[in-house]
Amino acid sequence: MKSLIKKLVETIGPSGYESQIRAVIREEVEPLVDEVRVDNLGNLIARKGGKLPGEVRGQPGVKIMLAAHIDEIGLIASHIDDFGFVRFVPIGGVRPHTCPGGRVRFLNGVEGVIGIERFSIALRSESNNSVPSFEQMYIDVGVSSRKDCSLHVGDMAVFERPFLDMGKRLVSKAMDDRIGTAVLIETLRQFEEQSISSPHQLYFVFSVQEEVGLRGAMTAAFGVDPDLGLAVDVTACGDTPRGGKMEVGLGRGPAIKVRDEGMLADPRLVDWMVETARRARVPYQMEILIGGTTDARSIQLTRAGVPAGCLSIPCRYIHSPSEMVDFGDVQNAVKLLVELLSNPIKFLTCPQS
């Protein structure tokens, strides 16, 4: 699975321009599902299971939408000056303090380094702290004049960092949410390898434009119109020095999201995930995230409503070029997801209590 993760995180795919990463995922997924399509915004939607949900042990199956977003945060060129320096604005939640000295790669292959204005900070900065603002930064692509610069206003770049395998821990840019993507793909592989048949009709959605406002999941969910939605995304950790106060840490299992800034998970869904984790002896943590939300919010508010939740992969340093996850957590997430999807879901198929 590590080589899959490496391939996914090292492929470029900023929000709105995901075709390269989509192609990589499509190649992995197509042999494992019944139907693959791409919608108007570029979401990759893969259906596994018949045209209708099936049945297991007398219990009817339901239509489930899973979502992991394939886009990553990045930068977009806003101005090329006479000397070929490239000014930019962020796409998605890029943190200014992770930028200076960072390396980026544009969609057309050009690489660059992020520099900062030095003396301007003292003279013209509005902010009192020492973190430069995006207006004070630029990308140096190694040319001396605008005419040598092959970039234009509107060109997109992502952070450039190779995948690092530390054994238990894995580090890369774009773990958010290529790790969720890897979990979905690996789940499909497990279904294949273990010859599991799910009673449910499963839609694996590899969604676009999550980082700029959960946009892809909105349209994908409208099209799929599921009975239940489950996002697979990263969540923050509270286990670093003077870090945020959060009860989630690396190495303690995948997290079952109770609430984040944009969504309260359906409590019945949370209970279902907890019970299943216990039954399958998968370690888990309960998650409340302050600051941030996921595709699950979009799914929940679609049409007449969809019970929704999120299976989270704990991750340190989110939205930096070096996001860190625990490989054990990732494997346990797959194990839990397989278990969740292969059994009947009582709370949906029994009358509302």
Partner 1 sequence: MNDLLPLLKDLISEPGLSGYESPVRKLIENAWRPLTDEIHVSRLGSLHALRKGRAPEPRPSLLLTGHMDAIGLMVTSLVDGFIRLVEVGGVDPRVLPGQLVTVHGRKDIPGVIVQPPSYLLPSEVRGVAVPLKYLLVDVGLEPAQVERLVRVGDLVSFAQTPIELGEDYLVGHTLDDRAAVGVITQCLVELQGRSLNWDLWVAATSQEEETFGGAFTSAYQLRPTLAVAIDVTFASGPGSPSHLTFPLGKGFTLGWGPNIHPKFHKAMKDLADRLEIPHKLEPMPELSGTDAYAMQVVAEGVPTMMVGIPLRYMHTPVEMVCLKDITRSGRFLADFAAQLDDKFMEKLSVYPEVVSHED
Partner 2 sequence: MKIETIANMSKNRIPSIGNAQIRLLESLCNASAVSGEEEKVRSIVLEQIRPLVDEIKVDALGNVLAKRFGQEKKRLRVMVTAHMDEVGMMIVADDEEGLFRFETVGGLEVSQLVGKAVWVGKNRVPGVIGAKPIHLVEQDELSQLIKLEALRIDVGPENGKKVKVGDRATFATPFIRLGPSLRAKALDDRVGVATLIELIRQPQPHLDLLAAFTVQEEVGLRGARVAAYTLDPDLAFVIDCTPARDLPDWESGGYHVEKEEIENTQYNTRLGAGPAIYIADHATLSDPRLIRHLVETAEALKIPYQIRQPGGGGTDAGAIHRQRVGVPTVSISVPGRYLHTTASIIRLEDWKNTLALIHAALSLLSPRLLRTER
Report, as residue numbers or ranges, the catalytic residues.
210
Tell me if 76 contacts partner 2 by CB under 8 A.
yes
Instruction: Point out which span in 76-84, 93-101, 165-173, 314-322 binds partner 2 (CB under 8 A).
Output: 76-84
| Contacted by 258, from partner 2, partner 1, none: CB < 5 to 8 Å by type | partner 1
The angle, 0 to 180 degrees and rounded to 10, between the axes of the packed helices 19-29 and 2-9 is 160
CA distance 20 to 17: 8
| Contacted by 267, from partner 1, partner 2, none: CB < 5 to 8 Å by type | partner 1
152 exposure class (CB count in 10 Å sphere: 0-12, 13-18, 19+): exposed
- Between residues 31 and 154, which has the closer beta carbon with respect to partner 2? 154
CA distance 202 to 161: 33
- Between residues 199 and 226, which has the closer beta carbon with respect to partner 1? 226
Out of 27, 81, 192, 261, the residue judged to bind partner 2 by CB under 8 A: 81
Tell me if 305 contacts partner 1 by CB under 8 A.
yes
Out of 7, 87, 169, 259, the residue judged to bind partner 2 by CB under 8 A: 87
Out of 31, 101, 109, 154, the residue judged to bind partner 2 by CB under 8 A: 154
Exposure b/e, 43-60, CB count within 10 A at least 16 = b: bbbbbbbeeebeeeeeee
Structure tokens at 327: 């490989």
Run of H or E residues at 337 = helix 327-342
Structure tokens at 105: 């790669």
- Between residues 52 and 290, which has the closer beta carbon with respect to partner 1? 290
Instruction: Point out which span in 74-82, 160-168, 198-206, 321-329 binds partner 2 (CB under 8 A).
Output: 74-82
Instruction: Answer whether 353's CB lies under 8 Å from 76's CB.
Output: no
CA distance 136 to 197: 55
Tell me if 79 contacts partner 2 by CB under 8 A.
yes
Query: Between the CA of residue 266 and those of 50, 72, 273, what are the distances in Å?
Result: 26, 27, 11
- Between residues 94 and 306, which has the closer beta carbon with respect to partner 1? 306
Instruction: Point out which span in 30-38, 145-153, 156-164, 260-268 binds partner 1 (CB under 8 A).
Output: 260-268
Task: Pick the closest to residue 217 from 231, 228, 201, 196 (CA basis).
Answer: 231
Q: Which residues are near partner 1 by CB under 8 A?
A: 245-247, 258-259, 262-267, 270, 286-288, 290, 297, 300-301, 303-307, 352-353
Q: Which residues are near partner 2 by CB under 8 A?
A: 15-17, 19, 22, 38-43, 76-79, 81-83, 87, 89, 91, 120, 135, 152-154, 209, 212-213, 215-216, 218-219, 222-223
